[in-house]
Chain A
C-alpha cells in the first residue's frame, strides 16, 4: 500500500471537511468550488482503489484479509460522492455539514485502510 497516498487522501479529506464545515458555519450551501474539492478528494480515493487492486493482482496480501481491504477501498471511493449528492438535495448549511461529515468519515477509513494493509 502506498503510505504516502493514504496520508495524502486523509489530509485532503480533512481539509475538505474543514472547508465545508466553515461553509456550514457561515450558513452557506455547497458551491461549485466545494464540488471541485470533492472531485479532487474522490480522484485520490479512485487512484487509491486502482493502486490497491494492482497491488492485490501482483500477489501482495493485506494483513487483515483481502475482502475487508477491497470493501474499505470501495467504501472510501463512494464516501464523498454520496455526501456530495446529498448536499445537492439539501441546499442549506446542513448540506455543507453533511459533506464535512463525509470528509471525516473518509479520513477514518484511511486510518483503517492503513491498519488493514498492515502498516
Chain B
C-alpha cells in the first residue's frame, strides 16, 4: 500500500488512492457497506419477496467490494482489473436501471441499481464514469 512497497517484478507499485483517488475510495467504501448490508438483511429476512432484486444488490455489492480492494492495493494489474469492473458496473447500472423502468413488475422491491441508482443520489451511475476517467489518467501518469 505504501509507495515504497515493491511489486512482484521489482517495480514500484503505483498508488491509486492519492489525490482524487481518496474520494473515490470513500464513495466506493460507502457503496460497499450500503449494498452488502442491504442485500444481506434482505436475503436473510425475506428473500422470497423479490429474489431477483436482492440478488442483483448482492452482486453490485461484490463488484463494489472488488473495486475498493483494487484501489487500495494499487499497481497495474489492480488498475486494469478495477477498470474492467468499473465498465461492468456501468453496464450493470444502465441495464438494471433500464430494466426496472421497462418492467417494474419483475422488481417488487428496489435494488441498489434501480432507476439508475436514484435512491442513492445517482452515485451508482456517476461513480463508474468518474472512476474510469481516474484509472485511465493513472495509466498516463505512470507512463509519463
Contacts and interface: CB of A to CB of B under 8 A. Distances in A.
Bound pair (A, B): yes
Interface of A: 65, 67-68, 71, 75, 82-83, 86-87, 89-90, 92, 94-95, 97-98, 101-102, 105, 108
Interface stretch (B17-25, B81-89, B102-110): B17-25
A86 B19 contact: no
A105 B30 contact: yes
B119 to A, nearest CB: 10
Contact of A68 (B20, B30, B41): B41
A29 to B, nearest CB: 11
A98 B33 contact: no
B141 interface: no
A75 B19 CA distance: 25
Q: Is the interface of B mostly helix, strand, loop or mixed?
A: helix
Nearest to B120: A108
Q: 7 closest pairs, A vs B, by CB?
A: A90-B22, A98-B26, A94-B19, A98-B23, A94-B22, A98-B22, A97-B23
Contacts of A102: 26
Interface string B72-114: 0000000000000000000000000000000000000000000
A87 B121 CA distance: 23
A89 B22 contact: yes
Contacts of B33: 75
A103 to B, nearest CB: 12
Contact of A86 (B25, B37, B45): B25
B27 interface: yes
A105 B23 CA distance: 13
Contacts of A98: 22-23, 26
A109 B72 CA distance: 25
B29 interface: yes
Nearest to B1: A89
Given A68-B41, A71-B37, A71-B41, A95 B30 contact: no
Contact of B19 (A68, A71, A90, A101): A90
